[in-house]
Amino acid sequence: ITQTFGWAYGMVYSFLVVFFSMALFNVIVAVFVENATVASKKNHKREKRERLLNSKLFNRKAQQLTSFVVDYYQEHHLNNSYIDNNLDGLKRVQLTTHMFDELLTYPEFKSILRDLDIADEEQRDLLATLDVDNGGTVDLEEMLQGIAKLRGDSRRSDIIGVSLRVEHFMKVSEQQFDILHHSVRHLMKQMDKLDRLQSSPAPAPPVVPVNAPPVASRRARPVDRGAGVHRAIM
């Protein structure tokens, strides 16, 4: 080519061949990487779905979490007192923010939460999320129930469930407001009646003249039946 068309044409031709070869190679690599990424995401989603549907795995990890927290609670806050592994015993374990931060310092505790699909960036605010009454404490039963609901991604059923709960709460609030409004109106009417009764003048007593003769009693005199019978015999 260089002998026929010259060195300039040969250099341009060689550059174009190398450029298009590199571009084609990059396209092939990009397609391969994209397919590998898509396959990895699909495998990850499938494994996560299987893990979320595996109730035995959740129960086993929940038992490990319960045992770990109970052991920590007994060792640090209850002077090694015994806690039953039942519902009443789980309610006795009250976790504060300070205690939960101490638990997060243990790699085993964080690993159990990770196995329960609680991401590392969400573990720090887990206790504040589950503390619905802002009391500063969460018992172990509430934490397990909250973790069970936090597992997995947000779904349409979660959003619709929250929307329905809010709508029901608004209806109940409106009904309670109507009842309260009716009670207040009735109370205001009763207070108005009481105010009118208190503000009206009392009736004056009848005036009796000083020199008026005493009023004769209209009560009939008792009849002496024995005297009448005696006169009839006479």
| Partners of 96 in the β-ladder | 137
As given in the structure block, the two tokens for residue 66 are: 């319960």
139 and 90 Cβ atoms separated by less than 8 Å:
yes
For tokens 């010259």, the residue is: 6
* pLDDT for the residue numbered 232: 42
* pLDDT for the residue numbered 207: 58
* pLDDT for the residue numbered 72: 84
As given in the structure block, the two tokens for residue 233 are: 């015999």
* pLDDT for the residue numbered 132: 77
Residues 6+ apart with CB under 8 A from 150: 117, 118, 122, 126, 129
| Partners of 139 in the β-ladder | 94
* pLDDT for the residue numbered 228: 47
Q: Judging by DSSP bridges, how do beta strands 94-96 and 137-139 pair with one another?
A: antiparallel
Encode the chain (234 residues) as per-residue pLDDT tens digits: 666 766 777 788 888 888 888 999 999 999 999 999 998 888 888 887 887 778 888 888 888 888 888 888 877 765 445 555 555 666 677 888 888 888 888 999 999 998 888 888 888 888 888 887 778 888 888 888 888 888 777 777 777 877 888 888 899 999 999 999 899 988 998 888 888 887 766 565 665 555 555 555 444 455 445 444 444 444
Alpha helices (runs of H) in the chain, residue ranges in sequence order: 2-5, 7-53, 55-76, 87-92, 97-103, 107-115, 120-123, 126-130, 140-150, 156-199, 225-233
The candidate with the shortest Cα–Cα distance to 138, out of 196, 147, 188, 113, is: 147
CA distances from 210 to 203, 207, 213, 214 (A): 21, 9, 9, 10
CA distance 12 to 98: 71
Residues 6+ apart with CB under 8 A from 181: none
Rounded to 5°, angle at Cα 108 from 136 and 88: 45
83 and 75 Cβ atoms separated by less than 8 Å:
no
The candidate with the shortest Cα–Cα distance to 94, out of 65, 73, 116, 63, is: 73
